[in-house]
Amino acid sequence: MIVTRFAPSPTGYLHIGGLRTALYSYLYARANNGKFLLRIEDTDLKRNSQEAAEAIVEAFKWCGLDFDGEIVYQSNRFDVYKKYIQKLLDEGKAYKCYMTKEELEALRNEQIANKQRPKYDGRYRDFKGTPPAGIDPVIRIKAPLSGEIKFDDGVKGEIKFNAEDILDDFVIARSDGSPTYNFTVVIDDALMGINQVIRGDDHLSNTPKQIVLYKALGFEIPKFYHVAMINGTDGHKLSKRHGATDVMEYKKMGYLSEALLNFLVRLGWSYGDEEIFTMEDLKKKFSPNNLSKSASTFNQSKLEWLNQHYIKEAKFEYLVEKLKDFDLDLSKNSHAKLLIDSLRERSKTLIEMSNSAKNILNRPKEYDEKAYRKFINEDSLELLNKFSVILDKDMSAAEYEEATIKFLEDNNSKLKNLAQPLRVAITGTSVSPSIFEVIEILGSDEVKTRINNIINKE
């Protein structure tokens, strides 16, 4: 059975790149009837926060990414890590190192001066003497001193590391007894049955250390997939300067989670020429074998295009519910469906849709200065005044259109002379959906009131 995981550190929000990793891991498991597990790596008690851990879970809920079993918190597992540290000590595969920070710094400076790679020199690797007094030791693993560490990466192919060049006897437990990142990852992945690890290629340098630990502990090594990073449009690693990196910021900006997931899955994965994928599509089609070796570029315009597509396709009831997050409750509006349908084609985000809807539903308190100067004059106000007379009952948009055409014929005028002044009177701007749909949404009495308001303004 395929078992994958997502294992973020709760030091802040869920990064957009982290969500992509989680999505790939989720889809790989779901596409193969496997398990997808969530682990919070919160052993760094100084940097981690409960609020950040909750933010990660909140982002998962918003995106609809369900996980199997309970969330595993590493902070609850220190006894497990101590057990395996002791096991390595007992088997002679790890040892206590009493080297002080000052000694380490002096060694490092000497190596740099000699143009050597800074590394621990193994002075306590086979130490049998009396431990120095007053020093709390760290625990180091006995890493291989020569040879190759290699593995078959699912994205990059065969990867080889020269042990002598990249490894020293690295620390697996600090002097206070707390375990290090690479150690806890290996223990938890092994005990949780994780056999497929999808992660960013910024973790590639950790892999040889983790393989050393897997072998020392007698655990089966999982299959690794190191995914190329997401870059901004300038070619540098995605960061705040390129836009929002917090997943939940996209909710606040009016993006649908379906659009964001569809966008992210294509940043490094492809399936022919297809661009639009529902979650059900992805659960059938996703394979990590189609992950790209090259970095992808975060394109905000592409995300907006996808979001607009999902807004167009979304069910009316779904949009009504989502718009409540943007201070717009249409649940009791009898013309809500017409309003939403009239705005779908022109709304890239839910914020745009909400603002456009409010612009229609709320009487204008002021008018766009440029539109007012261009379309409001003595003649247009006279035409509006005459037009308001025919607004004697509520009708459909088609019936309003028919009545308007007859009105214009009777007054020897054209639609262009009426439509824009009418828009300005009704919405305060020269931009809106079909003017006849807007009239139906508001009703005759409300439109007459707004026409009177702009006339009285003069």
320 with 273, same domain: the answer is no
232 with 273, same domain: the answer is yes
112 with 248, same domain: the answer is no
- Which residue among 191, 206, 227 closes a domain? 227
129 with 167, same domain: the answer is yes
216 with 245, same domain: the answer is no
Q: Look at the pTM and tell me if it is higher than 0.85.
A: yes
Q: Which residue has 């902070």 as its token pair?
A: 75
State the Cα–Cα distance between residues 261 and 283, nearest whole angstrom: 12
Residue 291 DSSP code = B
Answer whether residue 284 shows pLDDT above 70. Answer: yes
Tally: H helices and E strands in the chain: 20, 12
Q: Which residues are catalytic?
A: 240
- Determine if residue 196 is left, alpha or beta; phi over 0 gives left, psi from -120 to 50 gives alpha, anything else beta: beta
In a domain, 92, yes or no: yes
Is 240 annotated among the ligand-binding residues? yes
What pLDDT score does 140 carry? 97
Dmax over Cα atoms in the chain, in whole Å?
Answer: 110
252 with 211, same domain: the answer is no
CATH number, domain of 159, equals 3.40.50.620
Q: How far is the first Cα of the chain from the last one, in angstroms, to the nearest whole number? A: 75
Total tally of structural domains belonging to the chain: 4
102 with 221, same domain: the answer is yes
pLDDT, tens digit (0-9, with 9 covering 90-100), for 254-265: 999 999 999 999
Token readout for 241 is 């300067």
pLDDT, tens digit (0-9, with 9 covering 90-100), for 381-430: 999 999 999 998 999 999 999 999 999 999 999 999 999 999 999 999 99
> By percentage, how much of the chain surpasses pLDDT 90?
83
Mean pLDDT on 242-253:
87
291 with 349, same domain: the answer is no
Contact call for residues 136 and 176 (beta carbons, < 8 A):
yes
> 383 phi and psi, to 5 degrees?
-65, -40
Answer whether residue 243 shows pLDDT above 70. Answer: no
Give the count of alpha carbons within 13 A of 179, CB side only: 27
264 with 215, same domain: the answer is no
Q: Which amino acid is at 274?
A: E
- Which residue among 294, 323, 355 closes a domain? 355
Query: Which of 110-114, 133-137, 340-344, 399-403 is predicted with the least confidence, judged by mean pLDDT?
Result: 110-114
State the Cα–Cα distance between residues 39 and 73, nearest whole angstrom: 6
Contact call for residues 256 and 276 (beta carbons, < 8 A):
no
State the Cα–Cα distance between residues 255 and 245, nearest whole angstrom: 14
Angle separating helix axes 207-217 and 181-191, nearest 10 degrees: 50
98 with 51, same domain: the answer is no
Domain that holds residue 349: 315-355
- Annotate 347-381 with DSSP letters as a single string: -SSHHHHHHHHHHHHSPPSS--HHHHHHH-SHHHH
Across the chain, mean pLDDT equals: 93
